[in-house]
Structure 1
Amino acid sequence: MFSRFKHNSSNILNKNPLDQHFEMGRLIGSAGPGNSWRIYEAYRRSDGKEFSIFLFDKRGCDRIHRLKKKDTLSDILRKGVKELARCRHPRFLQVVHGSEECQDTLAFVSEPVIGSLANLISQEDEDKPPLSPSVHMHSAAIIDTTYTFLDIEYKYGILQIVEALAFLHTTARTQHRNICPSSILVTRKGTWKLAGLEFSERPNDTEASDLVSCPRWTSKISKSAQPELDFIAPETQTRSMASFASDMFSVGLLIATIYNRGQSPIQANHSSQTYIRLIDTFNEIIRDAIKPVPLGLQDAVLRLTSIDPRRRPTAQHMGAIQYFR
């Protein structure tokens, strides 16, 4: 255990209260909106048990990403940890120690992970999703680029995320609103866990509809402070509305992304105008994108990514398709 921690990073954590209880090791990946969380190996000082620390370096970021007087990227990430800790379900990333912060950092502790899906599914691409700029400052900390998934791992990984959404939608009555590779963590055991609840919303219980009003993606706000544009459902960007079906559209894009070496069928390049143009020809785009997807999943992906939300299967129906039996 200690040999892996030779690139010790505890000096980054030394003013954070977590430093009293955990020893932080090497940087292994990133996650969250805009890859804002840096993920480190860690162990608990009291018993040597291994965990992962998610750390956000606040220095300069709150000034850059300020939204309103009281809203910062730190607030958004803090909310995500709080919501994640409330989701006590085996398909969600387990929070071992809730968020702690000091002037420079915000951090929390989770079960051991090897990285986010964004880190892992596009390792072979030269333009793979990068770690955040601050991560690159630590050149010795590089994720394991030798990791590859078996087909069976993809199958059960996707099913695990669908099961997480079934719980979130039916039991927690919550919309995720940012299903994308950086919201999914892969544990040391190989299981896929859902996280990334920074933008989650609960529909009003007094209304029959599950629709909620939500802001469109805009270039006027930092991309780190918004859901990932390349995974947003059309009704969210065109009508400022979201539902449980909007999450399912994102699941369809996620599946296509997994089998296209980390490239989403929607490549908007952080431009809302480009997104709208791509949606206008989306039927052609998605039919080309599903070619690498296993035959048993292709029809499901087409239904999940229907422009009409009413045609998309629910998470419960998706989990029951023949492909997963």
Structure 2
Amino acid sequence: MWSFFARDPVKDFNYEILPETQETSGIWTLHRGKRKIGGEPVSVFVYEVSTGTEEQAQLAKAAFKRMKTLRHPNILAYVDGLETEKSLYLVTEQVTSLAAHLKAQSDRGGSGELEISWGLHQIVKAVSFLVNDCHLLHNNLGIWSVFVDRAGEWKLGGLDHMTPENEDASTSLPSAKAVHPDMDKYDPPESPNGGEKWAGDVWRLGCLIWEVFNGPLPRTTSLRSLGKIPKALVPHYCELVGANARARPNPARFLQNCRARGGFLSNNFVESNLFLEEIQIKDPAEKHQFFQDLSENLDSFPEDFCKHKVLPQLLTAFEFGNAGAVVLTPLFKVGKFLSAEEYQQKIIPVIVKMFSSTDRAMRIRLLQQMEQFIQYLNDAAVNSQIFPHVVHGFTDTNPAIREQTVKSMLLLAPKLNESNVNQELMRHFARLQARDEQGPIRCNTTVCLGKIAPYLNAGTRQRVLISAFSRATKDPFPASRAAGVLGFAATHNYYNVTESAARVLPTLCTLTVDPDKNVRDQAFKAIKSFLTKLETVSEDPTKLAEIEKDVMSSAQPAGAAASWAGWAVTGVSSLTSKLIRTGPGAEVGGPADNTPVAAGTASPRTGNPVTDGVTVGKELTGLSKAELAKKKREERRKELEAKRAERKAAKGPLKLGTRKLD
């Protein structure tokens, strides 16, 4: 029974003090800590009664009491506390001292003026709250009494010397100078009764600003040297440290002056923070505009701010605020700052939920930006939670949705299971290729099929590829016919010699008289390639097994797809954009630029000639007209050199298959 009363209360404390780091803050020692159950990080301020004086113990107990009763977003948040005969434990939100934070930022490249501007805004707002709302005097304001949380937010602490405005601080509590003799350089020059009661706190605010930009204050006279204080802040700083106490501005007026147009506290970073603080009471139109502008500003904002303040607001705005697609761009920008584990925990659940949205703008932006998050999606989530929603895009009435859905398969195919990729996906591809009214979408479907061929099993490749590419070669849209030819060439290793001779070559030969010159050129090259393979087997039948080794091969794992020489989905995927604008400047499903350009006219965007409603030339091949002409001249020169070489070799007998055709 007696052992119960003799228990050490520290052992029953809900928080554990970590030994890694210790910082001194006035009479307190700052430790990192964590909750014993759950492991949430905290900070623990410890005051050892045995090592301090009676005056210091009095200050520590006063601060302990004030921390429990004061609540403000810019004042260090009290979490828990414990008072024993030996020590005082003050548990707060996780923070580090401002001095340590500025040093760490300087070591990493410098703490920018944007972050400092918002930090000073927070501290001045906290002082204004104490002076104007609570009628309290801080009496201990300085760099040692400011702390920074993990989001970069500055918090006012150091409440040891705080007193009511109408109470004489010299009689109620020991002065800071009495406890720390070296603190007299921060004392204002006037007598205690000079000017407003808060004039001393305003003076010390000026000292804080000086130290933030210039480092520790060596002596009071150093305040006259501006050092690195920004020009926009200089006139307001001079008011704070003016010799006339009556001329010093109230903290609220100082804040108002600095927030004026052109002032140090008037910038996008401060404006964004202020909006986020009041986002719950903003109307939907204001939120929509804010998130649109936020994407452009994030590049200049501090990383910690983006991770710990912007990201939670973005997630909340989507989850509860019906923000919609507008949060996607800033969400993915912030996602770049996260580790793989953090991304998996915070972003992926939201993305999975977004795919079930019926909002077309949301869906198309997800598809357009899939490359930014696909690596974080596991195969199970793709097959069970994402692919079933994505496939609805194949039948969407909006061509832009269908186009992006087709293109997204390049990223999703490596993660799809056998049923989804060999059955469900092939069924949709067959319908699009045969019946879609948009030629560029039929073309992109053919391109995508060739690109994902390595992920199909052998049976599906045997059943689908030749039929699909043959169908494409009969398409009225020239780019689709070219895509069919290139598809044959790119997947040539999946056809045995019998299929090559009996099914592929006859189809390609019909295109040698195609009305489109590009289709004819691609057909001749593909024919030469297949003939070379057949000639090789004819000359040396033992090479048959090597040539047909991929015909019955299993589906390849992610990342094992063969490269495509001379053709890529980015080359032809841009075709659809001539039929409908799907970029940020167009409202999906709205009256966008979805009317084909008349054939024979000039493209309004590029000036290139238009055929069958799409721009040809650089839009299709990736080369300008001058580059195309140069390439054709080079090809012609090589052909002439080859013919000259053949004529020289004509003196001897010719052997089939001795020269590899291009």
* TM-score computed with the length of structure 2 as normaliser: 0.35
Offset, 1:169: 0.7
Question: Which residue is 2:234 aligned to?
Answer: 298
Q: Of 220, 231, 247, which residue of structure 2 is paired with 1:311?
A: 247
- Any residues of structure 2 matched to 1:209-248 within 5 Å, and which? 212=168, 214=170, 221-223=178-180, 228-235=183-190, 243-248=197-202
Question: Which residue is 2:118 aligned to?
Answer: 156
How far apart, CA to CA, are the structure 2 residues paired with 1:58 and 1:197?
18
Q: Secondary structure at the match of 1:91?
A: coil
Q: Is the 8 A contact 2:169 2:175 kept in 1?
A: no
Q: Secondary structure at the match of 1:313?
A: coil
Tell me which structure has the larger Cα radius of gyration. Answer: 2
Offset, 1:108: 1.1
How far apart, CA to CA, are the structure 1 residues paired with 2:102 and 2:136?
27
Question: Which residue is 2:206 aligned to?
Answer: 252
Aligned length, in residue pairs: 253
How far apart, CA to CA, are the structure 1 residues paired with 2:11 and 2:187?
34
- Any residues of structure 2 matched to 1:40-59 within 5 Å, and which? 40-59=31-50
CA RMSD of aligned residues (A): 3.0
Offset, 1:245: 1.5
Matched, 1:323 2:264: yes
Offset, 1:240: 9.0
Matched, 1:287 2:207: no
Matched, 1:17 2:24: no
Offset, 1:151: 2.0
How far apart, CA to CA, are the structure 2 residues paired with 1:18 and 1:150?
43
Q: Is the 8 A contact 1:123 1:145 kept in 2?
A: yes
Q: Deviations over 1:19-40 (max 9, x none)?
A: 531122134343542xx21112
Amino acid of the structure 2 residue aligned with 1:300:
H
Offset, 1:310: 1.1
Pair 222,162 (structure 1): closer, same or farther in 2 beyond 3 Å: closer
Higher relative contact order (CA 8 A, sep 6+): 1
Amino acid of the structure 1 residue aligned with 2:73:
P
How far apart, CA to CA, are the structure 1 residues paired with 2:160 and 2:196?
15
How far apart, CA to CA, are the structure 2 residues paired with 1:218 and 1:319?
26
Pair 40,297 (structure 1): closer, same or farther in 2 beyond 3 Å: same
Pair 241,314 (structure 1): closer, same or farther in 2 beyond 3 Å: closer
Q: Deviations over 1:215-264 (max 9, x none)?
A: 79697x441xx79323222225x769972111011011110111112x22
Question: Which residue is 1:109 aligned to?
Answer: 91
Q: Is the 8 A contact 1:214 1:240 kept in 2?
A: no
How far apart, CA to CA, are the structure 1 residues paired with 2:235 and 2:76?
29
Q: Is the 8 A contact 1:166 1:316 kept in 2?
A: yes
Matched, 1:95 2:78: yes
Q: Secondary structure at the match of 2:121?
A: helix
Q: Is the 8 A contact 1:163 1:315 kept in 2?
A: yes
Amino acid of the structure 2 residue aligned with 1:188:
R
Q: Of 148, 151, 157, which residue of structure 2 is paired with 1:189?
A: 151
Pair 227,106 (structure 1): closer, same or farther in 2 beyond 3 Å: farther
Q: Deviations over 1:33-86 (max 9, x none)?
A: 2xx21112211122222211111222232xxx23xxxxx312211211211222
Question: Which residue is 1:3 aligned to?
Answer: none
Question: Which residue is 2:163 aligned to?
Answer: 201
Bigger share in helix: 2
Q: Secondary structure at the match of 2:50?
A: coil
Q: Secondary structure at the match of 1:20?
A: coil
How far apart, CA to CA, are the structure 1 residues paired with 2:143 and 2:149?
14
Q: Is the 8 A contact 2:196 2:245 kept in 1?
A: no
Amino acid of the structure 1 residue aligned with 2:205:
V
Q: Secondary structure at the match of 1:228?
A: helix
Q: Is the 8 A contact 1:120 1:147 kept in 2?
A: no
* TM-score computed with the length of structure 1 as normaliser: 0.69
Question: Which residue is 1:175 aligned to?
Answer: 137
Q: Is the 8 A contact 1:55 1:107 kept in 2?
A: yes
Q: Secondary structure at the match of 2:232?
A: helix
How far apart, CA to CA, are the structure 2 residues paired with 1:74 and 1:147?
40
Question: Which stretches in structure 1 are left out of the alignment for 5+ residues?
Answer: 1-13, 67-71, 125-143, 205-210, 268-277
Offset, 1:101: 2.3
Pair 42,213 (structure 1): closer, same or farther in 2 beyond 3 Å: closer
Pair 218,38 (structure 1): closer, same or farther in 2 beyond 3 Å: closer
Amino acid of the structure 1 residue aligned with 2:170:
C
How far apart, CA to CA, are the structure 1 residues paired with 2:43 and 2:60?
17
How far apart, CA to CA, are the structure 1 residues paired with 2:40 and 2:169?
43
Pair 286,146 (structure 1): closer, same or farther in 2 beyond 3 Å: same
How far apart, CA to CA, are the structure 1 residues paired with 2:11 and 2:146?
23
Offset, 1:171: 0.8
Offset, 1:112: 0.6
Amino acid of the structure 1 residue aligned with 2:88:
L
Q: Secondary structure at the match of 2:214?
A: coil
Q: Secondary structure at the match of 1:55?
A: strand
Offset, 1:291: 2.8
How far apart, CA to CA, are the structure 2 residues paired with 1:28 and 1:242?
40
